[in-house]
Amino acid sequence: MGLRRRLTTLAMSAALATPVVVAAAAPASAATPQFARLSIAPAQDHPGYFDVYVSGHFNTTATLATVGMRLKGDDPVFNDDLGVWRTGQAWYGDFTLYALVSRGVLNEDKDGRDEIFAYVSSSTGWSINTPNVNGYY
């Protein structure tokens, strides 16, 4: 009889402990942070041109979504549209877009430092501006 009582006590303890473990694990499933970043580097094979990458992640339940970007110049009054845009696919919200861009296009402030950012949007409705990349192009 003592063994039966111990087994019953153990089974009840396990049953009571299970909901506590499930409840404690719930916060770990927080959403992945959404972001986009812009990278501009001189193109090794094309003098006078720059490799421009826009990469990031947005939260979605879709396996595949369309994502697009437009390069812009950050100015005090009006942000110049630099006329560079790309579209591509995001798999589970992960994406990377590439453009080869000439120095003349990136030189949006002819007499000073250039502040470039990308406006990024997806077919799911998500959108964001990347942080500025500053340079003299």
Domain ranges of the chain: 1-30, 35-135
Please say if the pLDDT value at position 6 is more than 70: no
- Write the pLDDT tens digit of every residue in 44-62: 999 999 999 999 999 999 9
Architecture category of domain 35-135 in CATH: Sandwich (2.60)
Alpha helices in 26-127 (DSSP H): 103-106
**For residue 31, what pLDDT is reported?**
76
Say what the pTM is. Answer: 0.76
**For residue 22, what pLDDT is reported?**
45
Q: With beta carbons less than 8 A apart as the criterion, state whether 78 and 51 touch.
A: no
- Write the pLDDT tens digit of every residue in 12-40: 555 554 454 444 444 444 678 999 999 99
- 72 is written with which tokens? 């812009």
**For residue 34, what pLDDT is reported?**
97
- Write the pLDDT tens digit of every residue in 114-130: 999 999 999 999 999 99
Highest average pLDDT, of 5-9, 15-19, 54-58, 77-81, comes from 54-58
93: how many CB neighbours lie within 10 A of its CB?
20
Choice between 25 and 73, residue whose per-residue pLDDT is larger: 73
Q: Find the mean pLDDT for residues 76-103.
A: 96
Q: Find the mean pLDDT for residues 72-96.
A: 95
Please say if the pLDDT value at position 88 is more than 70: yes
Q: With beta carbons less than 8 A apart as the criterion, state whether 106 and 116 touch.
A: yes
User: Which residues lie across from 40 on neighbouring strands?
Assistant: 52
Q: With beta carbons less than 8 A apart as the criterion, state whether 50 and 114 touch.
A: no
Q: Find the mean pLDDT for residues 79-87.
A: 96
